[in-house]
Amino acid sequence: MKRADPRSLRIDPDPDGERRRAARARLGLDERTGEPRRHFRPIAFLVRVVLCAVLLSIGAVAALRVIDPPLSALMFGEWVVALRDGDADYRLEYAWRPLAAISPLLARAVIAAEDQKFRDHHGFDFAAIEDALATRDAGGRLRGASTISQQVAKNLFLWRGRHWVRKGLEAWFTVWIELLWPKARILEIYLNVAQFGRGLYGAQAASRHFFARPARDLDAPQAALLAAALPNPLRYRVDVPDAAMRRRQAWILRQMQGVAMLKQ
């Protein structure tokens, strides 16, 4: 006769499992599986989100050193606003051209107009920032002191406005742009994503639109006129320049004489 296994005759002191579940709960274990519970930790989650955002932003800047951007945040934002407003007449004009296919006169003009220390600074013109703040403190109008590198950061990755969050992100992207891109690449992207009118972005599209010629064929007055619109291309019209635009164009032409070209 087969003998019974003594273990099968034992009485379970916890037949409904209550004690085991209580013990697991005290140890922070899952009641069903006995595995450690996964608790949601907001601070740890936030750290992971921030770390991912940091790595993605640096990766995007690194990639754009060699990849030509098909679109910029500024272009996309303007297109969304036009779509929201039901503007059927809106057209986005944008055609990428390498720096070698853009007139060097336009490169000189934008440096003369926007950032004459472009070759030497590391993304920020602190003297210009101090002058702008001093003018504001004296009761004058706060003027822009953004470098070409800062404008690339703003146009390529961010949105319009003067909110401190946007300015902080602009500084962040500017630092990495200066660290990861040569000056020639910064200038090349700037000339391709700068806005010259409503829906009009980049040297090639602007040159075709206003002068019916490719960007490589711009002459000095045309280049200076395009650069004269850059402070506010929605206000300053290249096609119908007013007296202020003409004065600024003449000033830029004089300043261009002292601008040295970058090595490509």
pLDDT tens digits along 117-155:
998 888 887 777 776 666 655 655 545 578 999 999 999
Question: What confidence tens digit (pLDDT) does each residue in 171-227 have?
Answer: 999 999 999 999 999 999 999 999 999 999 999 999 999 999 999 999 999 999 999
**CATH level 3 topology of 64-256:** Penicillin binding protein transpeptidase fold (1.10.3810)
Both structure tokens of 65: 């050193």
195-197 and 93-94 as β-strands: parallel, antiparallel, unpaired?
unpaired
Domain ranges of the chain: 19-63, 64-256
pTM of the model: 0.79
Separation in Å, CA 153 to CA 31, 103, 168: 52, 23, 11
Pairwise CA distance, residues 98 & 215, whole Å: 10
Name residues whose C-beta falls within 8 Å of residue 49's C-beta, 6 or more positions apart in sequence: none
- On whether the CB atoms of residues 172 and 180 are closer than 8 A, the answer is no
Pairwise CA distance, residues 241 & 202, whole Å: 19
Q: Give just the sign of the alpha carbon dihedral 240, 243, 244, 250.
A: positive
- On whether the CB atoms of residues 102 and 194 are closer than 8 A, the answer is no
195-197 and 200-201 as β-strands: parallel, antiparallel, unpaired?
antiparallel
pLDDT of residue 39: 63
The H or E element spanning position 82 is: helix 73-84
Question: What confidence tens digit (pLDDT) does each residue in 16-67 have?
Answer: 556 666 556 555 555 566 566 566 677 877 878 888 888 998 999 999 999 9
Opening angle at CA 80, ends 107 and 97, nearest 5: 25
pLDDT of residue 11: 52
Question: What confidence tens digit (pLDDT) does each residue in 97-127 have?
Answer: 999 999 999 999 999 999 889 988 888 877 7
Both structure tokens of 23: 């013990």
3-class SS string, 99-129:
HHHCCHHHHHHHHHHHCCCCCCCCCCCHHHH
Separation in Å, CA 114 to CA 147, 161, 252: 7, 19, 10
